[in-house]
Amino acid sequence: MADASAPMRAPLTARARLWRIVSTVFFTFAAYLTIGFSLSVLPGFVHHGLGFGTVLAGLAISTQYLATLLSRPHVGRMTDNLGPKRTVLIGLGMGAISALLLSAGAWLASAPGLSLGVILLARLALGCAESCVGTGAIAWGMAQVGHEHTARVISWNGVATYGALAAGAPLGVALAAHGHLLSVGLVSLALMLIALPLAWFKAASPVTHGERYPFMTVARRVVPYGAGLAMGSIGFGCIATFITLFYGAHGWAGAALSLTVFGVVFVGTRFVFGWTIPRAGGYRVAAVSLVLEAVGLALVWHAASPAATLVGVGLAGFGFSLVFPALGVEAVSQVPAHSRGSALGVYSVFMDVALALTGPLGGWLASDGRGFAPVYAASGVIALAAVVLTLWLRRRSRHGADPVYA
């Protein structure tokens, strides 16, 4: 029962609520901008600069997602117990360490084996940073504006994520062109050192008290939603990891532009259609989005020109844009407020699983001489399977099988 003597807080205005969200997801933007820097240049550096094959080029990207996967459950519990601000600060610190290691790996390019080893360590650190900042920023934003605005916080966090990837891809190419991979590492380090004091001086949100759900209880409730997210994320992983090599195999220029198109369409979709989640419900929005993503991936599979590839990538970005928040809103509603950090961590793990597997498995599919087109065909079929799972979850929820918390 609330204390009647406690001062009543005035409700937030729409502008104040938006500022709280944007000023929090900025840290996600900073972290993912550094990820975007390396996405467009690192596969080529490992494949062409260091002389390793496509599987190791894919592994260099997927190592980050593997680290994120392994750290997510711990980060979710850390967010619930220590608070989201401290989690974000730890993540930004790990991002700075990753940037230092990436700079060292670039400097050691004359020793390919050693360079690759240091780069893989940098990717591991960056994966931990992604986990801490991504989960912490969402929980921080939710605590500042209320859980009734969960969809908005998740949507804005996604805008920050993929807006940063869209900006980071061409910036990474420009940085590498003027100063090799070393410039990418040094600029990433500077960005983390700017974000750290901003997070330090931002007001912390109170830690929600209450009995914490056991991890396995949270996991059981969130796993079906995470599985749908994983199947929808494979297409994004194929675009992020292999689109530069896909262009190179065809002798096309402008691979970085495709990443930018994906990010711009993704962000634009969040702005224009984000309202559909609270209006139509997460299940319906997710199902429609996954169908559109599958169509976009099929277009990339059949693409015979850079223009056709851009159309497919753009449609895939349009479809994938709302998958995370649409299924995420339904996932976090399965647990009470004091366990939602853990729920976010478990839910996000499945995206990390998909992205961690996409690199080596996609590289294996492409290594038999058929090129990269089959990678996009397979990811499109998996996205359609996610539609079936989403419709099943919707049917189960309508029959009262899911406990839903306000």
Q: Model confidence over 27-52: pLDDT tens digits?
A: 999 999 998 888 778 877 887 777 77
Query: CA 47, CA 373: separation in Å to the nearest integer?
Result: 19
Confirm if 118 and 101 have CB atoms less than 8 A apart.
yes
Residue 330: burial class (beta carbons within 10 Å; 0-12, 13-18, 19+)? buried
Please tell me which residue, 256 or 28, carries the higher pLDDT value: 28
What pLDDT does residue 7 have?
A: 42
pLDDT digits (tens, 9 = 90+) for 125-146: 999 999 899 889 988 988 888 7
What pLDDT does residue 209 have?
A: 58
Global pTM reads 0.71
Q: Which fold has domain 15-205+212-398?
A: Growth Hormone; Chain: A; (1.20.1250)
Confirm if 57 and 46 have CB atoms less than 8 A apart.
yes
Task: Fill in the amino acid letter for 220.
Answer: R
The pLDDT-based confidence of 61 (bands split at 50, 70, 90) is confident
pLDDT digits (tens, 9 = 90+) for 172-199: 888 887 767 888 889 999 999 999 999 9
Q: Domain boundaries in the chain? A: 15-205+212-398
What pLDDT does residue 174 have?
A: 84
Query: CA 403, CA 381: separation in Å to the nearest integer?
Result: 31
> Sign of the C-alpha dihedral, residues 120, 122, 126, 128?
positive
Please tell me which residue, 207 or 151, carries the higher pLDDT value: 151
Token pair in block for residue 264: 């711009």
Q: How close are the terminal C-alpha atoms of the chain, in Å?
A: 17
Query: CA 27, CA 31: separation in Å to the nearest integer?
Result: 6
Distance of CA 82 to the CA centre of its chain: 23
What average pLDDT score do residues 292-319 get? Answer: 92
Q: What is the mean pLDDT of the chain?
A: 84
pLDDT digits (tens, 9 = 90+) for 321-341: 999 999 988 888 877 767 777
Confirm if 101 and 42 have CB atoms less than 8 A apart.
no
